[in-house]
Amino acid sequence: MKHIVKIITLLVAVSALWIGLLEMSVVPRSQTWLLPIYFIVSLGCYGLLMVGIGLMHFPTCPQEAVLLQQDIVEAKDFLKQRGVDVGSK
């Protein structure tokens, strides 16, 4: 619930800023109308940057890989006991 409140607060603040800029004519009106598009593009670039950084620092989990392989072997044995053909591997 807290996360949605933060998002709504941010959207209200950005909307108030944008409407304020439209009303006060601080920024030329031709550029003010493009501010939401600039905001969305900037947000997309930020998201891509965060995904890229997350991929660069992606942790490897060797213990989890071993546990996953054990689970796979157990599942294959269980299915073989039930008469299901699971392949040669």
Q: pLDDT in tens for each of the 89 residues of the chain? A: 688 888 889 889 988 887 887 788 777 777 777 777 888 898 899 989 989 888 888 777 888 888 999 999 999 999 999 888 887 65
Name the token pair of 40.
Answer: 């969305």
> Please, are residues 79 and 86 in contact by the beta-carbon 8 Å criterion?
yes
Kindly report the pTM of this predicted structure: 0.46
Q: What are phi and psi of 69, to 5 degrees?
A: -65, -40
Helices (H), 1-89: 2-24, 29-32, 35-56, 62-81
